[in-house]
């Protein structure tokens, strides 16, 4: 079972995916938590380049190719081997982020994103939790986090984009949920972490029922 968590900046993905892993492990399941960009050593180097706030211009296609390089390495080195060994794999962002950010928000036609993805043999997750939040609220949360942590601030490239950019990201995610209703489940990300996790837990129980 391969489950991804997606959402706009500040939607609380990282917190919720950690809770999901703890919950599944407590249920006795073998479960790994990984993320993009940066799920491998090579990917960590790419993450630094991708999220740096250097301000230098990048063509959307260059950005797309770097995210795909990160994903391909991640898939071969981490995700596919773990799935073969029977682990539940939880990934903090994956292919829908590329569709939303490099496709919808940066403007690369979706048909081209899909074409290159197919060429690389990038698999789809079994299930996706979309933490849906008003991007204005998400950006406020994310910028507060960046103000409190220099490590987070150094990765602020996307938080620096304007609200319109983040609105396109959110709209795209919601559109994908309509396009793939069997896979993508929208979870309201407003509220306390406990409230949000209480919306996620029943989905995990449904997708991974207790053995026996
Ligand atoms: P992430 O580590 O999830 O940051 P945050 O916790 O601040 O949301 O993701 C890093 C950034 O990378 C995020 O702004 C979205 C962007 N991104 C893309 O643009 N395309 C992609 O394919 C992926 C995986 C991420």
**Contact 40/74 with Cβ under 8 angstroms?**
yes
Give the chain's domains with CATH numbers.
2-207 (3.40.50.300)
Assign 59 a pLDDT band (cuts: 50, 70, 90): very high
Residue 209 Cα to ligand 1 midpoint, Å, equals: 30
In this predicted structure, the answer to whether residue 36 has a pLDDT above a threshold of 70 is yes
Q: For the chain, count helices (H), then strands (E).
A: 10, 5
Q: Is the CB of 51 under 6 A from ligand 1?
A: yes
Nearest CA to ligand 1 atom 5: 9
In this predicted structure, the answer to whether residue 64 has a pLDDT above a threshold of 60 is yes
Residue 182 Cα to ligand 1 midpoint, Å, equals: 24
Please write the tens of the pLDDT for every residue from 19-28.
999 999 999 9
In this predicted structure, the answer to whether residue 160 has a pLDDT above a threshold of 90 is no
Please write the tens of the pLDDT for every residue from 169-203.
999 999 999 999 999 999 999 999 999 999 999 99
Q: What is the pLDDT of residue 49?
A: 93
The residue behind tokens 């968590």 is 5
Instruction: Out of 33-37, 150-154, 174-178, pick the least confident.
Output: 150-154
Please write the tens of the pLDDT for every residue from 72-98.
999 999 999 999 999 999 999 999 999
Instruction: Out of 49-53, 63-67, 90-94, 163-167, pick the least confident.
Output: 49-53
Q: Is the CB of 161 under 6 A from ligand 1?
A: no
Q: Average of pLDDT values for 144-166? A: 89
In this predicted structure, the answer to whether residue 62 has a pLDDT above a threshold of 80 is yes
Q: Is the CB of 67 under 6 A from ligand 1?
A: yes
- Cα 151–52–170 angle (5° rounding)? 90
Residue 193 Cα to ligand 1 midpoint, Å, equals: 20
Q: Cα torsion at 159, 161, 166, 169 (round to 10°)?
A: -100
In this predicted structure, the answer to whether residue 212 has a pLDDT above a threshold of 60 is no
Q: Is the CB of 14 under 6 A from ligand 1?
A: yes
Instruction: Out of 46-60, 64-78, 168-182, pick the least confident.
Output: 46-60
Cα distances (angstroms) measured from residue 78 to each of 83, 95, 120, 125, 144: 9, 15, 16, 14, 32
């Amino acid at each position: 079972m391969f489950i991804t968590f997606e959402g706009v900046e500040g939607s609380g993905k990282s917190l919720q995916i950690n809770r999901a892993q703890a919950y599944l492990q407590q249920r006795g399941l073998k479960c790994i938590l990984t993320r993009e960009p940066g799920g491998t050593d090579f990917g960590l180097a790419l993450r630094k380049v991708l999220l740096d706030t250097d301000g230098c211009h990048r063509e959307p296609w260059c950005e797309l190719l770097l995210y795909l390089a990160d994903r391909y390495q991640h898939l071969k080195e981490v995700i596919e081997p773990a799935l073969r060994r029977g682990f539940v794999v939880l990934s903090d962002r994956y292919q829908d982020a590329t569709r939303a950010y490099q496709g919808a928000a940066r403007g690369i036609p979706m048909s081209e994103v899909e074409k290159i993805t197919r060429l690389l043999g990038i698999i789809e997750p079994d299930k996706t939790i979309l933490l849906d939040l008003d991007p204005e609220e998400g950006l406020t949360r994310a910028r507060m986090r960046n103000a409190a942590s220099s490590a987070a601030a150094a990765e602020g490239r996307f938080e620096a984009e304007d609200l319109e950019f983040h609105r396109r990201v959110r709209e795209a995610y919601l559109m994908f949920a309509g396009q793939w209703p069997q896979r993508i489940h929208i979870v309201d990300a407003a509220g306390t972490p406990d409230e949000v996790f209480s919306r996620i837990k029943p989905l995990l129980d449904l997708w991974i029922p207790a053995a026996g």
